[in-house]
Structure 1
Amino acid sequence: MLKMGFFRVKLCFSAITFAAFTFGISFAEYIPLDNYLLACGSSQNVSVQGRIFFPDSVQSFFSLKTSEDTAFYSPSDSLPSQIYHSLRIFTKPASYKFKLQQPGRHWVRLYFSPLPGSRHDLRSAPLTVVSDDFVFMKNFTFNNFNHSYLFKEYSVNVTSTSLVITLIPSNGSVSFVNGIEVVSVPDELVYDQALAIPNAPYSGLSHRGLETMYRLNIGGPLLTPQNDTLGRTWENDGKYLHVLGSAVIVAVDPLTINYPDGVRLEAAPKWVYSSADAMADANVTDLNFNITWVFSVDPSFLYFVRLHFCDIVSKAMDTLVFNVYINSDIAIPSLDLSSLKGDLSVPYYKDFVSNSSNNTSMMSVSVGPDSMADLSNAILNGLEIMKISNDMKSFDGLNSVVDLHPSSSSRKNTLSILIGSVVGALIALGLIALCYCFIVARRSKTNTHAQPWLPLPLYGNSLTISKVSTISHKSGTASCTSLASTNHGRVFTFQELMDATNKFDESLLVGVGGFGKVYKGTLDVGTKVAVKRGNSRSEQGLAEFHTEIDMLSKLRHRHLVSLIGYCDERSEMILVYEFMANGPLRSHLYGSSLPSLSWKQRLEICIGSARGLHYLHTGAAQSIIHRDVKTTNILLDESFVAKVADFGLSKTGPALDQTHVSTAVKGSFGYLDPEYFRRQQLTEKSDVYSFGVVLLEVLCARPALNPVLPREQVNIAEWAMNWQKKGMLEQIMDPYLVGKINPASLKKYGDTAEKCLAEQGIDRPSMGDVLWNLEYALQLQETSALADPDENSVKSIPGILLPGLEPLDKSASMAEGMNSGIYEDAEDAATSAVFSQLVNPRGR
């Protein structure tokens, strides 16, 4: 093993490693069934990094369908390879149709360079490229791109024996392409499921397309397709390191790497696993020290993240244990590679699905030491980040449908719409600017003495700190201002909370969430509290901290959390709630040894939760959408009264003249409204869908997503609705409830859940209607219990289903939730507070 010094020196490999690169030592290579390489516009074969591209004029394994095209050749020393020296120009839509020997996952690689000298302005030409199923690019132009060439790589699952790639010129312009690859990929390279961060399963990858954004050989040199059996390029990671001095390169002879059973050689070449970045100052005492890589991403997409590891630094087993983070969320806690693989120098990789950090255009990956490790060190060998196609099967925003043959009339209509949209947008922007200036002017008069809000210190993220600090100090009107001057509850000193939690004693720890840890505490007057302390690594904590305080300081309801106070001293972010004796609803349904809840208790808990959500939607001047309704955010006090918790993701609902709020998707996988996920349009009905999933969890006593179950049972919403439509919901209920539910009550409950889970939001009931139906279900159950005092009895009253039976008075049932005042039942609210995420529901 070679250690590379404190700075990132790239040329210090062992003699064996250097010789291996020089003479191209290869291992058992994967031979693709389809391996089609086209040099578009070329008149002869082109050799690129040991591979031969054939001219697209020789149509044997493919066919080119177009009415107008021109080949063009212009060699240039400034371009990285000869594949960019020729191109084919199209003035009409053109389709390359490839004959495939076998369906399955394939690489689609596209090469573009707007060569000068043709009679067309290629730098201004909008490039639109689609396949049978996917939109790869939409109106990309080199005018907005600072490079002279572009390489795109996609991984798509082709379900037929042919693949058609179509280039579509925009109105009055042309399209062009320099090279195309269509190459088979082992289907096992990408599994259908991965772990969504934070901590939730994600399935369906086999039906999604992937676009390569970043592929890094960490600690090692550039790897070209010659060094990779799948023709991939692995770049060096140096420019993505957030702090250059945080990492030191380690490397070993690639021949010492031993692939285990279950890890294919195609996962990554030995060159990737034989080098790594380790901590530059190993055995540091500061466990916040880590290595961080930062990447620019599109926040409107999810990303497939594959992390490659191989313990090439340890001299003995079980000495290297470290944590892995994606953004501010822990992806792999206490990773012990040698214990996991049973030996040293054994490759291992792990797949995740994540989005950007806190809805920004940045994503980060970090490794750092674990407190349980004998050696305070951490490594990473390789990293791949791939954009996941959206529900419109597009890699380019929400674009999906492309008109292959636009008529002149449609062009005129499109132009008119475009001009009208631009004019309207300019007018709207002008009005917004005027309003903004007016608001700023008013705030500057009233907030001139506001203190700047300082974010949590984050090691290796000086950019974030300096940015927020600068904004805060430059203007008294900055959004990050102190909450001390507003009515947001009691302001605790840090020392008070230290005393209340015995200096944050780990024995008082009651849960860990995305924001940080929660401790049970006792105030000086004897009041039990839950103290939620922000994690210093959590980049999203500041926004959630503000939102939670702002929301809870304005809301008072018996079935919503009550905030006691907060602390923002010493750059800390701490929230204080009254302690909830019975914790989250989820722990009473599954995953713990707590006694099972009766059906009546479950109905009452659902009714209480529905009342809280109904109040959010209707009880204030402008509705509030919770956006993260789930069983871990419904907590129970000592009397099992349910209260909705965690308002860190909440959003103010649409105005009276609007139907929705346009916002990036936030929430927990398994509970996300599919319409919101597709359109990024948030409404109160998104909460209704999530609550429908909660209703099924309550009935079936299982998680919303469980990837270890058979495929058809993974998603509780899909699985339970199949049984509901058969009228056999009782077949999948919690075994504890079998024979204890009145059939009429169960039918009303199932119908309510089914309506909540309607595909379109407009077809879902309001939370008020949900509340009414749940109370009706409870009345049906209680009426049955009156006839037979034994709640466990399977008997029901024959007349219970007669249409003459009237439910509880609807107006009375909603009276608690319809209070339009800000404070409702203040005395009850004061005795009911909660912490959001008392367990570890890292599902955002």
Structure 2
Amino acid sequence: MVLSGKLVNSVLLLLLFLCYYTSSALFVPPDNYLIACGSSQNVTFQGRTFVSDSEHSSLALKTGNSSVARSNSTNVPSSIYRSARVFSGLASYKFKINEEGRHWIRLYFYPVRNSSWNLSSVPITVVTDEFVLLNNFSFKGYNGSYLFKEYAVNVTSDVLTLTLIPSNNSVVFVNAIEVVSIPDTLIPDQALALNPSAPFSGLSQLAFETVYRLNTGGPFLTGQNDTLARTWENDSKYLHVNSSVLVVTVNPSSIKYTSSVTAETAPNMVYATADTMGDPSVPNANFNVTWVLPVDPNFRYFVRVHFCDIVSQSLNTLVFNLYVNDDLALGSVDLSTLTNGLKVPYYKDFISNVSGDSGILTVSVGPDSQADITNATMNGLEVLKISNDAKSLSGDSSVKSLVPGSGSDKNKKAIIFGSVVGAIAAVLCIGLCYYCCLAARKSSKTPQEGHPWLPLPLYGLSQTLTKSTASHKSATASCISLASSHLGRCFMFQEILDATNKFDESSLLGVGGFGRVYKGTLDDGTKVAVKRGNPRSEQGLAEFRTEIEMLSKLRHRHLVSLIGYCDERSEMILVYEYMANGPLRSHLYGTDLPPLSWKQRLEICIGAARGLHYLHTGAAQSIIHRDVKTTNILLDENFVAKVADFGLSKTGPSLDQTHVSTAVKGSFGYLDPEYFRRQQLTEKSDVYSFGVVLMEVLCCRPALNPVLPREQVNIAEWAMTWQKKGMLEQIMDSNLVGKVNQGSLKKFGETAEKCLSEHGVDRPSMGDVLWNLEYALQLEETSSALMEPEDNSTNHIPGIPLTPLEPFDNSMSIINGGHSGTEEDDDGEDAATSAVFSQLVNPRGR
């Protein structure tokens, strides 16, 4: 009997423990809709049962025109995608909500093949009562076979409506839908915004889309491994290719959850694995481990970083820094101090914009310079897109603009009330306008106050900015710097408004890290490109100043000219010459523009190389561009290439220095690996970036493409693999196959390979790169007269004498025809280039 009593007590204790564990660790969602759309029966997916949308008792499906597409093919990704509900008109799913609050909305799409519709080309638009989730998505051009989207939306009524909208007399479809409650504590109302650092409130009123959820150092986790049915992806393909990491793993049961961090925050399998700094094999061990995440640059992002010290053997030994883009998010992080122990989870939330115009968000961890141990770690990373001012997560269209008559019934009372209030407000507005006019007239008589970015005179760009007399054609005056006229024309803001038709969106040329770029026309008919700074951008005051200072002293045929600037009404605006054919990248991929010929590509590369060579050697002290990429090489109406965007440029090392020590800036995929590791900038950093450009020109694909297999993600690594095999033609643009002289291609590949050397000392100068590209062009133009080389030396072109080549001394005497100084002589440069080209055939001495 005693043994039986002990056994009973043990069982009771076990049951109590299980009850406690279940109540404290497992969240039971009040709303849990798992819908298999178009299915004739229930479907099991990742351990959960999805109910047919035609049999769900709490679901209202409103449409008069729906049908079903089904497939039994083994090529379908999984059972959840084997059926789809297809709508030929506006359709909606209405879910009864038992408890208001934030909910997951998960959507599954797969273009099931059938004889009735080509679903792969169907535009898909999905909205809720308030938010646009997906707008005009099509599988046409999409690299994946299926699409899974996860959103977090705060539901504030007892009904949630999901509306699917067909477009262009087409249909719209969906394979499965989830609407599941989320714990209130999962996503807070406030997080720390970066650049500038300040609390950001009001997140509960916004919608989120999951863009990345990474288990750093750990395996792929499905919904079966997560109490909230989340998917966690392995992070390896997002690591910067030159980062060296060491994976650390502990037993998941050893993770010690707290009241503030539970299994709903992240599974213990996330906290039980981590990436830490491995052996970098470089002189400077203080490098950062960086994750490179392509995102939509037009949105802000909620970034959650998960930590758990599973590395240390004792407290207070691991201290490191966390960076989001170039911003220090957390400095001198000591996890054991924050959590009072080891193997205790911790997380931190941030709000960040995207860095640069390439749509790249980066997260880095690196050692603290004052720490005794050089190490850093991360366990998990989540990146969620935040809805914009139009309450959209896909474009700028609002629900009201996409759904005809949406919200009209709800707003009838508001319209009536608004009409009454409007009559009263109209009287007040008249009085307010009168007051504003008086205030404006008064302020126009006083000097303009400084704005948050500060006026230019404080930067030392000019000491006196005065207004010129008004033009006879216009009452608007232009501001001209009398003390420093070389800075270019200082435009009045009204002139900019007139030139761009008040920044009409139809004249938008592109969006970059500094801001938006518009096409404009000045009052004299000159076409210009107007770059309008975004105050929330991470590129601002410093880049504005650098751009003006650099371009005001640089004039070259292959550099985009700065016409002037505007620093008025809290605006920072740069005005450039207009480049009719836009960025080089748009002629390589991502648009429907006709492909460039091989000769055109060589001429464009040569033009860009000339511009960079001038930067490196044409001034008293060299200038390093620091952001060479295909979007910063612009083409005019004659396809003449010009280097643009000098906001990140840096003055090169002086004669007694070998490098410039500076923080790493630039675009991932183009970054010099030596500069990235050592923070030591040289002209050879531009050479490496230009090597990436050369491979982009040849292969017509982005520098980084994370959706490709691991070995193909980085174009520099991938292309070099084929170049070293002597099989570069296997990966070149299909439009060039059979149309390129093999000698020209070989010389081009060799040039790119040298540019992409791991160490700067092994890379050629931009002058050498320019000469080799000129030679590749000559080979292409005179291919019929070329002779096969007897060895690896450069071929001899008949008619061009062989002349011994003197070592290149980095001076401008050759390029400028013997003239010194910084002034440009385009004709002299072209003549000199032709004169020295004959020396390319005997490249000894380099």
TM-score, normalization: structure 1?
Answer: 0.50
| Greater RCO structure (CA 8 Å; 6+ sep) | 1
Q: Normalising by structure 2, what TM-score? A: 0.50
